[in-house]
Amino acid sequence: MDAGDQWLLSILQGIASPQLLQFIHDHVLHPDAPFQIVKRKIIAAVQSSTEIMYPLLQPFIDRLTVALYNSPDIVIVGFALVVLVLTIQVLSWIRRVSMWAAGVAFRLMFYAVVVGVAAAVWQRGLENSVKDVVVLCSKAAGFAVALKDFWLQEYKKYDVQQQRAAGAGRAGAARGRGR
């Protein structure tokens, strides 16, 4: 077992059961475990590809380093762009989470109303609940009629004011031309 893998067992010591720790030790961290074999092969492949690519990429990396050292403004602009992109990403995540939370809240409110209505029907009985709904609908219809009458009355007042203003404007314009 690699010494670098011991930290996992030390972290899990107070959290996991002894059986789980033994399972991790035997099947994940043991040198002959499939996980360790795959890990060693991946590390070897990365190291060999790095050894092959480094001599090819070294001149480009050196030129890039010199160019960035000679013009720090590019680094500052690049850093500012990275900060801007990260900020936009975080704000997007916040928007998504808040929209999800709002959706959950509205869904919970809907189900709470459904449960509340069902509880009211259960407690008062179906006949009394229907009477309550009819009374509520008649009150709402009466309010809507009163609101319509008020709106029409205000609209007529506004229309009369506009006609007076238009008539006064035409009379003033006619007097102005007559001079």
53 belongs to a structural domain: no
Same-domain check for residues 118 and 130: no
66 belongs to a structural domain: no
86 belongs to a structural domain: yes
Residue 171 has pLDDT above 70, yes or no: no
The type of residue at 61 is I
64-109: pLDDT as tens digits: 889 888 888 888 999 999 999 999 999 999 999 999 999 999 999 9
Same-domain check for residues 85 and 120: yes
48 belongs to a structural domain: no
pLDDT at 99: 98
> Residue 155 — pLDDT band, cuts 50, 70, 90?
very high
Rounded CA separation 173/167 (Å): 10
11 belongs to a structural domain: no
Same-domain check for residues 130 and 120: no
Residue 49 has pLDDT above 70, yes or no: yes
Task: Return the C-alpha torsion angle 70, 71, 76, 81, nearest 10.
Answer: -120
Structural domain boundaries enclosing 111: 73-124
Domain tally, the chain: 2
- Residue 108, SS3 per DSSP: helix
Over residues 18-33, mean pLDDT:
86
Over residues 134-145, mean pLDDT:
96
105 closest CA partner among 93, 117, 97: 97
pLDDT at 145: 96
Alpha helices (H) along 13-125: 18-27, 34-70, 72-124
13 belongs to a structural domain: no
Same-domain check for residues 117 and 132: no
Across 58-84, b (16+ Cβ under 10 Å) vs e yields eeeeeeeeeeeeeeeeeeeeeeeeeee
